[in-house]
Amino acid sequence: MKPPVTRSPRHTLALMVCVVLLGSMRARAQTDPLPSWNDGPAKKAIIEFVQATTDQSNPKFVPPAARIAAFDQDGTTWVEQPMYSQVVYCLEQVPVLAKKKPELKHVQPFKAVLDGDRAAMAKFTMKDLEKILAATLTGMDVEEFNASVKAWLASATDHRFKRLYTELIYQPMLEVMKLFRDHGYKTYFVTGGGQDFVRQYAEQVYGVPPEQVVGSAAATQFGYDKTGKPMLTKVPKLLLNDDKAGKPEGIHFMIGRRPVAAFGNSIGDKQMLEYTGAGDGARLMMLVHHDDAEREYAYGPTSKVGTFTDALMSEATKKGWIVISMKNDWKRMFAFEQ
Amino acid sequence: MKPPVTRSPRHTLALMVCVVLLGSMRARAQTDPLPSWNDGPAKKAIIEFVQATTDQSNPKFVPPAARIAAFDQDGTTWVEQPMYSQVVYCLEQVPVLAKKKPELKHVQPFKAVLDGDRAAMAKFTMKDLEKILAATLTGMDVEEFNASVKAWLASATDHRFKRLYTELIYQPMLEVMKLFRDHGYKTYFVTGGGQDFVRQYAEQVYGVPPEQVVGSAAATQFGYDKTGKPMLTKVPKLLLNDDKAGKPEGIHFMIGRRPVAAFGNSIGDKQMLEYTGAGDGARLMMLVHHDDAEREYAYGPTSKVGTFTDALMSEATKKGWIVISMKNDWKRMFAFEQ
């Protein structure tokens, strides 16, 4: 028979500390960083990439300064169907604009929007749309524009889901962005959407600060208001068309480093993924595929919004880009789902 | 007579810990964050601003996300006389360019540079200079350009100081940038110099990463090399002329937040300081004044490089911008001085 173990109060305290520490370590190891993902190759690839590139003993290690992860926005981190949220904003701003400029009531394409003429709107050309975007996204003080977007986002809702646009965020992608950030990555948006538009909610909704939003952007013009106070006016001159080839160009311009990971969902993201993949060392390129008509939408080659062609699918296969099936890979789509 | 104080080993340990902690606190309080500055209103203003804006109990507190400090580069953080370093680089690249394009030997303004015709070069118009800049800063792969700048910086030296250009950094300003960063500020360059040029040394020399360099920038064009590898080519189309009004415009485009502190040295920085000053809450605007011909240069209203007009001085006085006298405020100019 062994003698009973006697413990001093100090030993007991040390033991308690160890129990707590070990317990929290086990709890951490068991916490799934991507709880909205089903187990599968996509989830596995993300977790393995983040672990490998942040482990100094791993040959795939990426130094903290180079940890740049780029995310497309429309269709990759929030809903883009049936129409980009920013385009909805622009259309809904036309009546506001017409109050200031009543002459627009008689001018197309504004008249069609004001009359609610859906048949005419369905026939809008790219040029018509550009006229509406230019009229509603430029010509005002930057701060006036920002306030207008914020006010719209606080109340406008999507027709199908009856939710604020900022609630139509893919929970699985939020988790991916957080996982990257928790491992020292800077997460950037690289979006065809308007830079100033996205900046109004990116920080609050996604944790992406304004300086990490690369998007399509009109120039601004510095000047002074009537009181002599400096101001910036948005002018109808496109500085950056952040789509397709414009994405790597925008990345070089605004970040100046090649990302090591890039996430997209359409042919507009092809060049960004190619550019990301062309760098040395570990790389992760992924495409969100909209194949879940029940919970969201299913679309591909023939969709005007978020086109995903067969050629893009072939390139993904050939280059080892991982295609995320929203239907199979995502356990939960939105935070508001139970 | 009091009884002698007895201490248990635990009390002794606690006492030792307190002595060490208090000692390190005193040592920290006594460490001057700006040792290259003489005591005076400029040094006092910087230290007080950083302390006030990062102290939660102070009404001037600035939340961490909004802590943006903008620094001009040429003449504010390194020597810009007798000519901007980047212009020296461009002129010295002309012979390299002429090897690839021998026809330039017979074309002005390239001929004058190749012949070393100082009389002709002294008469160069802005248009002549632009031709040289366009020819030496664009037309190549981004990575080829970066490598060329890095190689040049590693060996080219300034004529007066016989030092590498990256050694001609103002030690007092390095200390200011570090002080800001140590208090949770992001330090940005907002420079009329070329964004890609400055990015080649900003991180190593100043601790400013590529994504925090806002500068004049040519567009790039995405494409593929002969092997099909994605590449970016620098093209002669100016996207951002980051000087004067272009500075606040560039800040809005690339940062999307108004800085709370801005440092400049010439009329090219006026609009940036105005824009910074027009925000709410605590603000710090400072201008480096070159008044030390002995240790560096003395220049002002009549200088083509780094013009500092009487009107700028008046505006500084009127608006409470602090003018730094290099002669009086700086104890030490360069790190290589003893």
Residues of chain B with C-beta less than 8 angstroms from the C-beta of A67 = none
Token pair belonging to B251: 């800040």
Residues B193 and B216 sit within 8 Å (Cβ to Cβ): yes
Q: What does the alpha-carbon distance between residue B115 and residue B105 come to, in Å, rounded to a whole number?
A: 9
Peptide bond into B109 cis (omega under 30): yes
Q: What does the alpha-carbon distance between residue B224 and residue B233 come to, in Å, rounded to a whole number?
A: 10
Q: Which residue has the tokens 């414009």?
A: A246
Residue of A nearest to B195 (CA): A253
Residues of chain B with C-beta less than 8 angstroms from the C-beta of A186 = 211
Per-residue confidence band for A105, with pLDDT thresholds at 50, 70 and 90: very high
The torsion angles phi and psi of A320, rounded to 5 degrees, stand at 75, 20
Residues B325 and B291 sit within 8 Å (Cβ to Cβ): yes
**Cβ of A129 under 8 Å from any chain B Cβ?**
no
Task: Indicate which of B67, B226, B249 best probes the interface with A, i.e. most A CBs within 10 Å of its own CB.
Answer: B249
Q: What pLDDT is stored for residue A12 in this prediction? A: 56
DSSP string, A64-90: GGG-EEEE--BTTTB---SS-HHHHHH
Q: What does the alpha-carbon distance between residue A29 and residue A27 come to, in Å, rounded to a whole number?
A: 6
**Cβ of B65 under 8 Å from any chain A Cβ?**
yes
A253:B239 CB<8 A:
yes
The torsion angles phi and psi of A139, rounded to 5 degrees, stand at 95, 0
Residue A26 has pLDDT above 70, yes or no: no
**Cβ of B20 under 8 Å from any chain A Cβ?**
no
Residues of chain A with C-beta less than 8 angstroms from the C-beta of B209 = 65, 257
Please identify among residues 209-228 of chain B the ones whose CB lies closer than 8 Å to any CB of chain A. Answer: 209-211, 213, 217, 219-223
Q: What pLDDT is stored for residue B167 in this prediction? A: 98
Q: Which of A195, A252, A257 sits opposite B220 (nearest CB)?
A: A252
Residues of chain B with C-beta less than 8 angstroms from the C-beta of A229 = 278
**Cβ of B249 under 8 Å from any chain A Cβ?**
yes
**Cβ of A319 under 8 Å from any chain B Cβ?**
no
Residues of chain A with C-beta less than 8 angstroms from the C-beta of B223 = 245
Q: Using one digit for the tens of pLDDT, what is the confidence trace for A191-218?
A: 999 999 999 999 999 999 999 999 999 9
Q: Which of A142, A229, A256 sits opposite B211 (nearest CB)?
A: A256
Q: What pLDDT is stored for residue B145 in this prediction? A: 98
CA angle, A80 as apex, A76 and A85 as ends, to 5°? Answer: 120
Residue A23 has pLDDT above 80, yes or no: no
Q: Using one digit for the tens of pLDDT, what is the confidence trace for A37-76?
A: 999 999 999 999 999 999 999 999 999 999 999 999 999 9
The torsion angles phi and psi of A270, rounded to 5 degrees, stand at -55, -50
| H helices present in chain A, as ranges | 9-30, 41-53, 85-100, 110-115, 118-122, 126-137, 142-155, 171-182, 195-199, 246-254, 270-277, 310-319, 326-329
Q: A43 burial class (0-12, 13-18, 19+ CB within 10 angstroms)?
A: buried
Residues of chain B with C-beta less than 8 angstroms from the C-beta of A203 = 65
* Nearest CA-CA distance, residue A165 and chain B, Å: 22
Q: What pLDDT is stored for residue B216 in this prediction? A: 97
Please identify among residues 31-50 of chain A the ones whose CB lies closer than 8 Å to any CB of chain B. Answer: none
- The residue-averaged pLDDT of A67-87 equals 97
Task: Indicate which of B146, B197, B211, B229 best probes the interface with A, i.e. most A CBs within 10 Å of its own CB.
Answer: B211
Q: What pLDDT is stored for residue A334 in this prediction? A: 98
Half-sphere exposure of A123 (CA within 13 A, CB side): 6
B222:A253 CB<8 A:
no
The torsion angles phi and psi of B292, rounded to 5 degrees, stand at -130, 80
Query: Quick one: three-class SS letters along A149-177?
Result: HHHHHHHCECCCCCCEHHHCECHHHHHHH
According to DSSP, residue B165 is labeled G
Q: What pLDDT is stored for residue B9 in this prediction? A: 59
Token pair belonging to A12: 């007991």
A230:B275 CB<8 A:
yes
Q: Which of A223, A232, A255 sits opposite B211 (nearest CB)?
A: A255
Beta sheet of B230-240, edge-to-edge order: B230-240, B213-224, B186-194, B68-71, B261-264, B284-289, B322-325
Q: Using one digit for the tens of pLDDT, what is the confidence trace for A152-195?
A: 999 999 999 999 999 999 999 999 999 999 999 999 999 999 99
Calculate the average pLDDT of chain A. Answer: 93
- Residue B113 C-alpha from the chain's centroid: 28
**Which ipTM score applies to this complex?**
0.91
Residues A279 and A60 sit within 8 Å (Cβ to Cβ): no
Residues of chain A with C-beta less than 8 angstroms from the C-beta of B184 = none
Per-residue confidence band for A18, with pLDDT thresholds at 50, 70 and 90: low
Residues of chain A with C-beta less than 8 angstroms from the C-beta of B68 = 211
Record the pTM: 0.91
B245:A142 CB<8 A:
no
- The residue-averaged pLDDT of A112-124 equals 94
Please identify among residues 254-313 of chain A the ones whose CB lies closer than 8 Å to any CB of chain B. Answer: 254-257, 271, 274-275, 278
Contacts of A22 (CB under 8 A, 6+ apart): none
Residue A301 or A5, more confident: A301
**A200-230: buried (b, 16+ CB within 10 Å) or exposed (e) per residue?**
bbbbebbebbbbbbbbbbbbbebeeeeeeeb
| H helices present in B31-73, as ranges | 41-53
Per-residue confidence band for A338, with pLDDT thresholds at 50, 70 and 90: confident
**Cβ of A27 under 8 Å from any chain B Cβ?**
no
Residues A147 and A141 sit within 8 Å (Cβ to Cβ): no
Q: What does the alpha-carbon distance between residue B46 and residue B29 come to, in Å, rounded to a whole number?
A: 16
Q: A166 burial class (0-12, 13-18, 19+ CB within 10 angstroms)?
A: middle
Residues A62 and A53 sit within 8 Å (Cβ to Cβ): yes
- Residue B136 C-alpha from the chain's centroid: 23
> For chain B, which residues score pLDDT lower than 70?
1-30
* Nearest CA-CA distance, residue A105 and chain B, Å: 33
A230:B248 CB<8 A:
yes
According to DSSP, residue B262 is labeled E
Residues of chain B with C-beta less than 8 angstroms from the C-beta of A221 = 245, 249
The torsion angles phi and psi of B234, rounded to 5 degrees, stand at -80, 125
Which among B53, B328, B18, B86 is positioned nearest to B179, based on CA atoms?
Answer: B53
Q: What does the alpha-carbon distance between residue A333 and residue A163 come to, in Å, rounded to a whole number?
A: 14
Contacts of B261 (CB under 8 A, 6+ apart): B49, B68, B69, B70, B180, B185, B276, B283, B284, B285, B286
Helix axis angle, B246-254 relative to B270-277, nearest 10°? 60
